[in-house]
């Protein structure tokens, strides 16, 4: 049987190290024959990202800080020069000041609100627009969100607000690009131990709570996230766009922990 992503080329943004969700996705895509380019945020990340990219035969690795629009433009100029077109995009980028990922949302500062929104939400819109220009034959775009977008999670605060706007962006972008055969979706991942995940105060408590109280009684694995991304980025999901797909062991359907948990 031919591989699902054979002959497909795409851009992966958001690998910081081998724990990154973007890396879990890249591994699943590579196993199915995809060819990928990677971005990394700056020199400090290059040291970790380059060996990973090398391990799957990637020879296009470009620095990109989404706060610097010239660096975003440079990524797409390089993709255009090297490949001309792409078939998929993974956006797995988020940032907020750690000191505001604790306490009350009401105490969010104006500056950090704007910066969190720009990096964690608007960057997807800016990048999607540029990626669509390189997708004349259609394509698939994917971003990453979290359940804190739709219900209140302790300490997630301004990031939850940014993720809500990101999820709305997914729907608007799906409409904008639908007639070009470009699909836009998000995975809402359960908690994963990553650099970004550790930035949220009491991350370990949240991780354990969701593990104990999700229907599957487990946290999501790198393989599960990679598999769901593969589905959304491949033709297997050809009729799916504008969706937020939960990959969270079912935690999002629970309104109250199992009663036996409360009795112990």
Active-site positions?
146, 156
Site string for ligand NAD, 123-152 (x = CB under 6 A): ---------------------xxx------
- Subset of 204-263 contacting ligand NAD (CB under 6 A): none
- Give min distance, CB of 229 to ligand NAD, in A: 11
- Give min distance, CB of 85 to ligand NAD, in A: 23
Q: Which stretch binds ligand NAD (CB under 6 A): 51-59, 63-71, 78-86, 233-241?
A: 63-71
Looking at 4, 16, 121, 161, which residue binds ligand NAD (CB under 6 A)? 16
20 versus 157: smaller Cβ distance to ligand NAD = 20
70 versus 179: smaller Cβ distance to ligand NAD = 70
Determine if 94 is a binding residue for ligand NAD (CB under 6 A): yes
Say how many C-beta atoms besides its own lie within 10 A of residue 70's C-beta: 8
Determine if 121 is a binding residue for ligand NAD (CB under 6 A): no
Q: Which residues contact 157 (CB under 8 A, 6 or more apart)?
A: 96, 100, 101, 102, 103, 104, 105, 108
Number of residues that bind ligand NAD (CB under 6 A): 27
Looking at 93, 131, 142, 230, which residue binds ligand NAD (CB under 6 A)? 93
119 versus 229: smaller Cβ distance to ligand NAD = 119
- Scan for tokens 């540029």, then name that residue: 130
Looking at 192, 230, 232, 233, which residue binds ligand NAD (CB under 6 A)? 192
Instruction: Report the interface residues with ligand NAD, using CB under 6 A.
Output: 14-16, 20-22, 41, 45, 64-67, 92-95, 119, 144-146, 189, 191-192, 194-197
């Amino acid at each position: 049987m031919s591989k699902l992503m054979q002959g497909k080329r795409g851009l992966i943004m958001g690998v910081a190290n081998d724990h990154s969700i973007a890396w879990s996705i890249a591994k699943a895509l590579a196993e199915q024959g995809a060819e990928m380019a990677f971005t990394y945020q700056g020199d400090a990340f290059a040291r970790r990202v380059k060996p990973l990219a090398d391990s799957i035969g990637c020879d296009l690795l470009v620095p990109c800080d989404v706060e610097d629009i010239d660096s975003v433009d440079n990524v797409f100029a390089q993709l255009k020069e090297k490949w001309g077109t792409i078939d998929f995009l993974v956006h797995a980028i988020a940032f907020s000041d750690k000191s505001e990922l604790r306490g009350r949302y009401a105490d969010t500062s104006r500056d950090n609100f704007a910066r969190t929104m720009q990096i964690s939400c608007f960057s997807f819109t800016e990048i999607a627009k540029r990626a669509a220009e390189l997708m004349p034959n259609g394509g698939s775009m994917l971003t990453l969100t979290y359940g804190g977008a739709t219900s209140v999670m302790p300490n997630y605060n301004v990031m939850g607000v940014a993720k809500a706007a990101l999820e709305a962006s997914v729907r608007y972008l799906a409409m904008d690009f639908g007639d070009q055969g470009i699909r836009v979706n998000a995975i809402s991942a359960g908690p994963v131990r990553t650099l970004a995940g550790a930035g949220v105060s009491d991350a370990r408590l949240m991780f354990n709570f969701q593990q104990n109280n999700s229907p599957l009684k487990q946290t999501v694995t790198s393989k599960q996230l990679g598999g769901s991304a593969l589905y959304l980025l491949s033709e297997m999901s050809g009729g799916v766009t504008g969706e937020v797909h939960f990959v969270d062991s079912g935690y999002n359907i629970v309104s109250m922990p199992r009663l036996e948990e409360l009795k112990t």
